Structure 1
Amino acid sequence: MSKYNKKKRGKGAKASNFSAQHQLISKRLIYDMINLAQVQSSDTILDIGAGTGALTVPLAETGAHVIAIEADPAFVDKLLSHMKNRDNIRVKYADILEAVLPKSPFVVVANIPYSITTPILGRLLDYPSVPLKRAILLVEKGAAKRFTAVPIQDPRILSWRMHYEIRLVRTVSPQHFAPPPKVDSAILSISRRSKPLVDMQHQLKFRALGAYGLLDPRLPLSAALIGIFTPPQITRLVRVLGIDRELPMCRLNEEQWAVVLYTMLQHVPPSRWPQLRQNVKKRKGF
């Protein structure tokens, strides 16, 4: 994982315990990640924060087309030196937060820069039109736990999980890196759902609904959605969901959130649908 220029970090980036240049040195872990990604020779693979090529070269050995994205010029030079006699590696000297992503389906296998983990996942997952098929990522364990947490309290992560299955595969100890970091890492698996829970055309509506419903994740459904649904509609909704009306909103699973969305689209006038960036702090009864 290379150290990215702090000036290039996107919104939402946070300081990290993993901000230094900790390179992946475990060959077994490298090949485990490639196997988990089910890499095929026909795949296009992104190696984000490629460093000196610890993953890049083994990925290229599968016959896949590998795009190594690296923002450190010294590492780019080393990557280029590894390209001898390999025509299936392309090195891009770029910040992943600004780089143009492939327009055709691609896979990501990477030891990503931990200090910008959330912005990187945002580039990949915020818009379902991005043709990401699957990803195997090394991330800080705390971040992996947040992305896979139950109950779901973050509306952005909720929107990702309507289109992708996100799973913490296993913990990775510091000795797999040089120099070893002070925190545990984890392998994060991301796979596009064969059938998304929310149609792409409704993605922005769902993001607005999630932000509204999870403004206070501890609120019961009956209070959290009162500004959208009328009391009789809420009574019918909880009956369809098969839950108690006092269940906290954060306890709904992805499938139940999809039911809430499509119930809203079918039975609630558009004038009552939440909008992104609208002030949802005032929930008025009827």
Structure 2
Amino acid sequence: MPSAPRAARSSGVHFLATPAIAAQLVQSCAIGGDDLVLEIGAGQGALTGHLAATGARILAVERDDHFVRRLHNRFRDRPNLRIVHADAREISLPRRRFFVVANLPYALSTTLFRRLLSPHTALHRAAVIVEWGFAKRVCATVPRQLEQAWWASRFDLELVSRIGSRHFSPPPRVDSAHLVIRRKPFPRSAERALWTVLSAAYRQPAAPAHTLFDRRALRRAEIRPNEINADISPDRWARLARDLSPGRPWPALPKRLRP
């Protein structure tokens, strides 16, 4: 059996090896010719060719020198494709509306989600491959962690399908997931209120909602006043935050959430 590519051996990257899955991932992002698309970790180009064929403007980010050279040679005739030699954890994200299509390294999924789903991101939609367990956690109806609820209250996270390890080279020890992310129409003016509401609820998960918030406001958000905080979905907390937001001074977002 041939050895795994050096980037995979050194950083735990598992390259997508089934073209049909790559095509499905790109198609699920619904990219148009005028769109700006960020591909994170272009690697050997399994997704890059499918993305370039959409006619959209593609920024294919890759940090490994070897793969950058190969990508340049392979896609030199694609005028809508730019190879960006950089680390996706450090590059400046586009200020205009953009899409993301990527096979994310397992170890970097949380870090990259924090960047892409931050309050000031211009991300519109994404289709990504992540580790199966990670996908199950972030797509839970009621996430267990505050950060995951923060993501889910502002973005729709849909677990599309499970992807077996055999579709990657080298194959990982666990399965992966095809995940689609769509921005929700949540006003940025209410984000401080949302973070405050979620933080209060997640500090006291076993408490009834009425111990923290006004009963009438809870009912307007379709939350029963006696309902336990741990049973309330991010969507309903977001409705409450939108209702409470106007006309009140809310604490600033934590530094890690600021641009």
TM-score (norm 1): 0.78
| Counterpart Cα distance in 2 of 1:260 and 1:35 | 35
Is structure 2 residue 236 aligned with structure 1 residue 256? yes
Is structure 2 residue 148 aligned with structure 1 residue 157? yes
1:108-162 Cα distance to aligned partner (Å, 9 max, x none): 11101210101101111112x3221100000001111111112233222222223
- Which amino acid counterpart does residue 72 of structure 1 have in structure 2? D
* 8 A contact 2:193–2:244 mirrored in 1: no
Question: Aligned to 1:170, what secondary structure does the other structure show?
Answer: strand
Is structure 2 residue 33 aligned with structure 1 residue 48? no
* 8 A contact 1:165–1:192 mirrored in 2: yes
1:186-230 Cα distance to aligned partner (Å, 9 max, x none): 00100112x22xx2022133213211211142332234x2xxx4x
| Counterpart Cα distance in 2 of 1:217 and 1:115 | 28
- Give the number of aligned pairs: 249
Aligned match of 1:16: none
Question: Aligned to 1:117, what secondary structure does the other structure show?
Answer: helix
Aligned match of 1:212: 200
Q: Of 72, 86, 96, which aligns to 1:94?
A: 86
Runs of 5+ consecutive residues of structure 1 not aligned to the other structure: 7-18, 278-286
5 Å-filtered alignment, 1:34-45, equals 34-45=26-37
Larger CA Rg, structure 1 vs 2? 1
Question: Aligned to 1:162, what secondary structure does the other structure show?
Answer: helix
Which deviates more, 75-84 or 47-56? Answer: 75-84
After the TM superposition, list the runs of 4 or more consecutive aligned residues in structure 1 that deviate by more than 6 angstroms: none
Q: Could you say if the C-alpha distance between residues 27 and 262 of structure 1 is closer, same or farther in structure 2, counting changes exceeding 3 Å?
A: closer
| Counterpart Cα distance in 1 of 2:251 and 2:60 | 40
Work out the percentage of aligned pairs sharing the same amino acid: 33
* 8 A contact 2:192–2:251 mirrored in 1: no
1:68-107 Cα distance to aligned partner (Å, 9 max, x none): 1112222112111112211221111111111011121111
- Which amino acid counterpart does residue 258 of structure 1 have in structure 2? A
Question: Aligned to 1:138, what secondary structure does the other structure show?
Answer: strand
- Which amino acid counterpart does residue 48 of structure 2 have in structure 1? T
Q: Could you say if the C-alpha distance between residues 276 and 220 of structure 1 is closer, same or farther in structure 2, counting changes exceeding 3 Å?
A: farther
| Counterpart Cα distance in 2 of 1:203 and 1:164 | 13
What is the RMSD of the two structures over their aligned residues, measured on CA atoms?
2.5
Q: Could you say if the C-alpha distance between residues 274 and 212 of structure 1 is closer, same or farther in structure 2, counting changes exceeding 3 Å?
A: farther
Question: Aligned to 2:179, what secondary structure does the other structure show?
Answer: strand
Q: Could you say if the C-alpha distance between residues 240 and 40 of structure 1 is closer, same or farther in structure 2, counting changes exceeding 3 Å?
A: closer
Which deviates more, 117-126 or 239-248? Answer: 239-248
Is structure 2 residue 191 aligned with structure 1 residue 191? no
Q: Of 143, 146, 164, which aligns to 1:173?
A: 164
* 8 A contact 1:111–1:137 mirrored in 2: yes
* 8 A contact 1:2–1:49 mirrored in 2: no
How far does residue 243 in structure 1 lie from its aligned partner after superposition? 4.5
* 8 A contact 2:197–2:237 mirrored in 1: no
5 Å-filtered alignment, 1:48-197, equals 48-127=40-119, 129-193=120-184, 195-196=185-186
5 Å-filtered alignment, 1:263-274, equals 263-265=243-245, 270=249
* 8 A contact 2:152–2:235 mirrored in 1: no
1:158-194 Cα distance to aligned partner (Å, 9 max, x none): 222232211100100001101111101000100112x
